[in-house]
Amino acid sequence: MLLTKSPLSLSIQRVLTKRFYAASASSEIKKTALYDFHVKKGGKMVPFAGYYMPVQYDNLGISASHLHTRQKASIFDVSHMLQSRVTGKDRNKFFERLVVADLHQLPIGQGTLSLFTNEQGGIIDDTIIMQQQDSLYVVSNAACADKDLAHIRKHLAEFQNKGFDVDFNVIQDHSLIALQGPKAAEALEGLVGKSLEDFSFMHGRQMDIAGVPCHVARSGYTGEDGFELSIPTEEINTLTEKLLAHPDVELAGLGARDSLRLEAGLCLYGHDLDETTTPVEAGLTWTIPKSRRETGGFLGAEHILPQIKGGVSRRRVGLVVQGAPAREGAEILNKEGQVIGAVTSGCPAPSLKKNIAMGYVKNGFHKKGTELNVKVRNKVQQAVIAKMPFVEAKYHK
């Protein structure tokens, strides 16, 4: 099925290619261990977060790849993400200073989405933290790697100087891929030789994949069931090829990843989240459990916790837009024509055949069904606040 030339696919490709080139500030672009694999398979490579990454492949356009992921399964190279490990008996105490999660209450083998916050309550980055027997396994964004590492190491030195037992190391010898879609479990089961029915969303475990020891988390960034596989780098090409041998599995690039995550109502750091945005404004209050709301102790808590009870002046919302797609930066207007916010992400939604967007609006305009306008290339278009996710999540509970 070749949909590379479809208007929807071309529209997504144009805006994403522009975004990805703009997102690469470094003059030295790195390559993941799968770079040659992508090129061989027809990947269109673009700079993104300091790496050459595939935005799409020759055999499937972005829209077709998106729909294939929703219907079957796709492999995404996410080796550009920062994988790290926190060790020592005081690791939970240390990391709870930096993130909003309750790690002391996080059972072994379970993970959580959390947020690094700064002293003003802004979001430094979003991250997945997995509690393991003797460590915390942490995955954070590639585009934020340098500032995340500087932030973590600054506070690490302070903790260590106070005598706490904690250490932090970047995982250098493993690559990361995401297998996403309703056929993901079936494809992986064929290589692990057992059912994964008892493996729930946001849990992780060590397991052999075709005889190779890997860390597997049942998680992802598409709203579909799926897994993120941390694989020894020397085996990454072999195992990716074996997963791709399943008849329902295809490769997918950054283009489909972006439209899938937006349909799922998931934020992209640097666009929907930044250091001037608090978790409450971003609609991520749920990442702060009751225990942390009571005790605080994380950076910026004195700014964030009062917002939970007292409210905020703006809120992140979802929009369904009439007419042309509303892209990042488009003004959001009330019916009187006053600017009340801005779009932070937007694209055509292949699953819905509608244009969707995410953005921030003044408090009071955030309720579902509120009719607004957006300004796209100086043309005013109708929009309505919609509940997120736009497409129902299908995580394996």
Q: How many CB atoms lie within 10 A of CB 114?
A: 29
Contact 285, 46 (CB under 8 A): no
Beta bridge partners of 214: 207
Residue with tokens 């990947």: 43
Contact 251, 289 (CB under 8 A): no
Q: Helix, strand or coil for residue 326?
A: coil
Cα separation, 297 vs 151, whole angstroms: 17
Phi and psi torsions of 364, nearest 5°? 105, -20
Hey, what amino acid is at 387?
A: K
Q: How many angstroms separate the Cα of 199 from the Cα of each of 49, 62, 152, 244, 316?
A: 31, 30, 31, 22, 32
- Torsion region of 326: left, alpha or beta (phi above 0 gives left; psi -120 to 50 gives alpha): beta
Contact 282, 82 (CB under 8 A): no
Q: Is 184 exposed, middle or buried (0-12, 13-18, 19+ CB in 10 A)?
A: buried
Helical ranges in 234-311 per DSSP H? 236-244, 254-263, 290-295, 301-310
Residue stretches of the annotated binding site = 228
Helical ranges in the chain per DSSP H? 7-22, 35-40, 62-71, 91-98, 145-161, 184-192, 236-244, 254-263, 290-295, 301-310
- Torsion region of 244: left, alpha or beta (phi above 0 gives left; psi -120 to 50 gives alpha): alpha
Residue stretches of the annotated binding site for substrate = 228
Tokens (6 digits) for 68:
């294939």
Tokens (6 digits) for 283:
């609609």
Q: In what order do the strands lie in the sheet with 43-48?
A: 30-31, 51-57, 43-48
